[in-house]
Structure 1
Amino acid sequence: MTYIEDGLGAHNGYAYGPLADVALRRAAHAGQLLDELQENPEAMTDAELRHELSRALRHYMQRAPRADQVYSLTRLIRSGVRIDWLVVDRLPCA
């Protein structure tokens, strides 16, 4: 195992350790938020949907998402396209 920094190591192309676990939990939570938004998007206005999408993406990326990303996802959800947010059980390491 190669240690990248305290709490993060890499082995066989995957990251391990507490920092990798936090990243996976954050990705899973963002996916859960996205799934909840797609269950009943008609109950929200476009502004509310964009706000909630932005919040989910901000939680995952830990920074504000680009506006074009949020608007693009809003259009897809409004048109009935299901966005799948796949979360793996191990974090791939580049």
Structure 2
Amino acid sequence: MIYLINSKDGINYNPQNEIEDVVRNVHMILRVTKEEQPLMREFSLDNDMVDKNIPVIKNKLIGLLMTNLKEYEPRALLKNLDLKLENNDLEIMLEIEVII
């Protein structure tokens, strides 16, 4: 089944089932930047995408998300990625398929 994840949505820190747990983990991968996690400095997204063009960010995000999902949340497959820039605020929208 396909699930939509938006970077603007809140994170459910109390998942009730395995699917909600996968969605929560993908939210965390999407929200955390490298060097932010004390014992996992390579976890999540690179912050060198600041001030880059949207196509460059999208291409880099696809590669990073595919790698990070494979390593940290293998139950999620990236199906689609869309970016929306509005008032200097970047919104990231993902479609993932959860495999249990």
TM-score bracket relative to the smaller structure = 0.3 to 0.5
Larger Rg: 1
Higher strand proportion (structure 1 or 2): 2
Per the normalisation by structure 2, the TM-score is 0.35
Per the normalisation by structure 1, the TM-score is 0.36
Higher helix proportion (structure 1 or 2): 1
